[in-house]
């Protein structure tokens, strides 16, 4: 793969200094208005709706989306866009029903929610769990995947220097607090979208040129649909007796209609509604601003597959028709995750630098957001509550800054020689493995805690444990214990000598049993738990301007599903 030209480096460093400079300017401008720790961690009252929406997208889209989703696009096609498109509907649910509960009860962190609604034990256990998850899974995997992708793009010999560069960049932005993160994320999203669209444009014109139609964007897209119609179906067909292992693997990844019954909703609602890393951006705003920002992010999510999935489908069509052979299988080892970088290698000088900046923007924004969430949870839920109850506002901000540096320092240490084995397992798989097992229990705990006044603290703890245990059983043991085909599930050969239940089906089943346990235990308690939240209909009333955005998003979502069903 070709290395960058001088113009690419110039464009990249201009991007670096513009974002860093803007961050410093925002910090200096807002510093005099700072009111303490909540302003630093949550940018209380400072972020506009468009800054909240842009920050949500910038924090969400990272190397695992660009690399992993393009790879999935290569393998299975538009069906993988369900993650992005269902997220748009999930964000509507979060904006209308979840955020009002958080804001009315002055919730600033997810452990605080658990303490306020259930008990201190649940809060402390989850605070420690989230800190470990964010540092050793999310932060480390984002840094590893991002550094590896950029290093491969630049020639393959710069991994460690890129690790340091990305880390320093993230620290500069994060130390300024949520205000700096939020407003610099606006630039990051603009760069991300422009660079992503440039990559998609080149991918589609490469297809049209390969088939002798010149550089024609529309012709390239039509050729994709004509050449590989199976890659433009949202629902993956259920395997039958004569199905190939490749078709079975696609179903294991995205199990047709089955995933829409529970799995994909649990993934999205837990991620967007019960995740400090995400909700933090809206928790410092008023209800209308928070809702509009979240819905704006949902609207943008509808278009994300264009830049993170479509290049993967283009790479598939090119590879299938004799192009990109070396890029997709360097050294004779085929890897679908090479799809995005295979396309990037053919970008013209200058545009390649913009795409590098887009990839960097996605990585740095995710690192900064995650580091800020780590600092927020540690400072407000552990340091202030257990280590120094009389800590001053200034002291808490300083502890937060130290936590940020230490967290990113730890991620550098574990990334340097890939101590966690992320490269061998695959980044996207690594993240799913360690977050997916806990998602059913966490989501059930939040859902019932918000909207069922009878839910007890004991039921919350039991639900968390049940969700984890059931996830482990269905993912690892159920086919061998109970058989391959039962009334609850069907397991399929995974090509490695064993049978496997699709991951999303496992998640739905774990969630079902978790809800049954939590409801059963709570029914044995008082009809109204003393710690339940007071809800009223006025909390969930939506203003006309907000409703317009909801309707537009739903109409676009419906059009996409009608077109690609």
Residue 201 Cα distances to 101, 131, 133, 207, angstroms: 42, 40, 36, 10
What is the pLDDT, as a whole number, of residue 282?
Answer: 83
What is the pLDDT, as a whole number, of residue 43?
Answer: 62
149's tokens:
């992708």
Q: Where are the alpha helices (DSSP H) in 61-177?
A: 63, 70-75, 82-93, 99-104, 110-117, 120-133, 140-154, 159-174
Phi, psi of 236 (to 5 degrees): -80, 130
Evaluate if pTM is beyond 0.85.
yes
| Size of the chain in residues | 565
The answer, yes or no, to whether residue 325 has pLDDT greater than 90, is no
Number of neighbouring beta carbons within 10 Å of residue 422 = 22
pLDDT bin (cut points 50, 70, 90) of residue 1 is very low
Looking at residues 48-62, what average pLDDT do you find? 84
pLDDT tens track for 496-531: 888 999 988 999 999 999 999 999 999 998 888 888
552's tokens:
């537009």
pLDDT, mean over the chain: 85
- CB-based contacts of 244, cutoff 8 Å, min separation 6: none
Q: How far is it, in rounded angstroms, from Cα 518 to Cα 33?
A: 45
Looking at residues 48-75, what average pLDDT do you find? 82
The answer, yes or no, to whether residue 155 has pLDDT greater than 60, is yes
Min mean pLDDT across 18-22, 64-68, 124-128, 137-141 is at 64-68
> Higher confidence at residue 19 or residue 152?
19
Min mean pLDDT across 28-32, 90-94, 116-120, 386-390 is at 28-32
Q: How far is it, in rounded angstroms, from Cα 474 to Cα 467?
A: 11
Looking at residues 291-304, what average pLDDT do you find? 93
> Higher confidence at residue 47 or residue 522?
522
> Higher confidence at residue 309 or residue 418?
309
Please state, for a pLDDT cut of 90, what percent of the chain lies above it: 28
> Higher confidence at residue 445 or residue 136?
445
Per the CB < 8 A criterion, the answer to whether 79 and 234 are in contact is yes
Min mean pLDDT across 23-27, 192-196, 227-231, 420-424 is at 420-424
Q: How far is it, in rounded angstroms, from Cα 533 to Cα 535?
A: 6
pLDDT tens track for 232-257: 998 988 888 888 888 888 888 888 88
Fold classification of 6-428 (topology level): Sodium/glucose cotransporter (1.20.1730)
The answer, yes or no, to whether residue 347 has pLDDT greater than 70, is yes
pLDDT tens track for 169-207: 888 888 877 777 777 778 878 888 888 888 899 899 999
Min mean pLDDT across 35-39, 238-242, 373-377 is at 35-39
364's tokens:
């740095």
The domain limits of the chain are: 6-428, 437-534
Per the CB < 8 A criterion, the answer to whether 514 and 473 are in contact is no
- CB-based contacts of 50, cutoff 8 Å, min separation 6: 186, 293, 296
What is the pLDDT, as a whole number, of residue 280?
Answer: 79
Number of neighbouring beta carbons within 10 Å of residue 402 = 13
> Higher confidence at residue 265 or residue 334?
265
DSSP state letters, 448-474: HHHH-TT--HHHHHHHHHHHHHHHHII
- CB-based contacts of 251, cutoff 8 Å, min separation 6: 236, 237, 238, 239, 492, 502
Looking at residues 404-417, what average pLDDT do you find? 92
The answer, yes or no, to whether residue 2 has pLDDT greater than 60, is no
> Higher confidence at residue 522 or residue 212?
522
Looking at residues 146-150, what average pLDDT do you find? 80
What is the pLDDT, as a whole number, of residue 31?
Answer: 62
Q: Which of 139, 61, 38 is nearest to 297 (CA)?
A: 61
What is the pLDDT, as a whole number, of residue 32?
Answer: 54
Q: How far is it, in rounded angstroms, from Cα 447 to Cα 94?
A: 11
Q: How far is it, in rounded angstroms, from Cα 256 to Cα 502?
A: 10
> Higher confidence at residue 420 or residue 376?
376
140's tokens:
């480390």
pLDDT tens track for 424-441: 555 556 666 667 788 899
Please state, for a pLDDT cut of 70, what percent of the chain lies above it: 93
With H, G, I as helix, E, B as strand and everything else as coil, classify residue 314: helix
Per the CB < 8 A criterion, the answer to whether 178 and 388 are in contact is no
What is the pLDDT, as a whole number, of residue 156?
Answer: 66
> Higher confidence at residue 405 or residue 350?
405
Looking at residues 142-154, what average pLDDT do you find? 79
Looking at residues 24-40, what average pLDDT do you find? 67
Q: What angle do CA 81, 85, 88 make, to 5 degrees?
A: 155
What is the pLDDT, as a whole number, of residue 35?
Answer: 55
Looking at residues 109-126, what average pLDDT do you find? 89
Q: What angle do CA 282, 141, 157 make, to 5 degrees?
A: 130
Residue 369 Cα distances to 233, 276, 281, 304, 395, angstroms: 34, 10, 9, 19, 21
Looking at residues 372-388, what average pLDDT do you find? 90
pLDDT bin (cut points 50, 70, 90) of residue 13 is confident
């Amino acid at each position: 793969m070709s290395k960058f030209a001088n113009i690419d480096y110039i464009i990249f460093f201009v991007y670096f200094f513009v974002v860093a400079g803007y961050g410093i300017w925002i910090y200096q401008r807002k510093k005099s208005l700072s009111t303490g720790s909540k302003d630093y961690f949550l940018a209380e009252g400072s972020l506009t709706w468009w800054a909240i929406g842009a920050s949500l997208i910038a924090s969400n889209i990272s190397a695992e989306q660009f690399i992993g989703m393009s790879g999935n696009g290569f393998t299975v096609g538009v069906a993988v866009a369900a993650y992005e498109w269902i997220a748009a509907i999930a964000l509507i649910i979060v904006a209308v029903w979840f955020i009002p509960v958080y804001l009315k009860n002055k919730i600033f962190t997810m452990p605080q929610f658990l303490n306020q609604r259930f008990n201190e034990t649940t809060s402390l256990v989850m605070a420690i769990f989230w800190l470990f998850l964010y540092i050793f899974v999310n932060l480390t995997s984002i840094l590893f995947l991002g550094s590896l992708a950029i290093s491969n793009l630049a020639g393959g010999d710069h991994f460690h220097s890129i690790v340091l560069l990305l880390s320093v960049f993230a620290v500069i932005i994060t130390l300024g607090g949520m205000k700096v993160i939020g407003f610099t994320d606006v630039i990051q999203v603009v760069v991300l979208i422009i660079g992503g669209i440039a990559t998609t444009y080149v991918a589609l014109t490469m297809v049209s040129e390969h088939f002798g139609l010149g550089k024609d964007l529309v012709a390239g897209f039509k050729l994709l649909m004509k050449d590989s119609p199976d890659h433009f179906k949202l629902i993956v067909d259920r395997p039958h007796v004569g199905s190939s292992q490749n078709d079975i693997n696609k179903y294991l990844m995205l199990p047709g209609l089955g995933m829409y019954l529970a799995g994909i909703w649990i993934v999205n609602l837990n991620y967007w509604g019960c995740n400090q890393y995400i909700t933090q951006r809206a928790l410092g705003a008023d209800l209308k601003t928070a809702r509009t920002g979240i819905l704006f992010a949902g609207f943008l999510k509808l278009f994300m597959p264009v830049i993170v999935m479509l290049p993967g489908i283009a790479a598939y069509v090119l590879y299938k028709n004799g192009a990109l052979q070396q890029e997709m299988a360097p050294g004779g080892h085929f890897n679908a995750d090479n799809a995005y970088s295979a396309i990037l290698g053919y970008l013209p000088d200058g545009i390649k630098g913009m795409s590098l900046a887009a990839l960097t923007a996605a990585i740095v924004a995710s690192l900064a957001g995650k580091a800020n969430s780590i600092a927020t949870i540690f400072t407000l839920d552990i340091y202030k509550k257990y280590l120094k109850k009389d800590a001053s506002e200034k002291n808490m901000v300083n502890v937060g800054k130290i936590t940020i540096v230490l967290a990113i320092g730890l991620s550098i240490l574990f990334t340097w020689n890939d101590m966690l084995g992320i490269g061998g397992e695959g980044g996207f798989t690594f993240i799913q493995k360690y977050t997916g097992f806990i998602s059913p229990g966490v989501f059930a705990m939040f859902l019932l805690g918000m909207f069922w006044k009878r839910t007890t603290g004991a039921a919350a703890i039991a639900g968390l444990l049940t969700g984890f245990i059931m996830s482990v059983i269905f993912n690892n043991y159920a086919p061998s214990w109970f058989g391959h085909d039962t009334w609850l599930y069907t397991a399929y050969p995974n090509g490695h000598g064993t049978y496997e239940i699709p991951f999303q089906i496992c998640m739905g089943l774990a969630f079902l049993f978790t809800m049954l346990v939590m409801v059963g235990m709570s029914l044995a308690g008082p009809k109204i738990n003393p710690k339940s939240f007071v809800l009223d209909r006025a909390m969930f009333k939506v203003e006309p301007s907000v409703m317009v955005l909801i309707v537009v998003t739903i109409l676009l979502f419906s059009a996409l599903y009608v077109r690609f069903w």
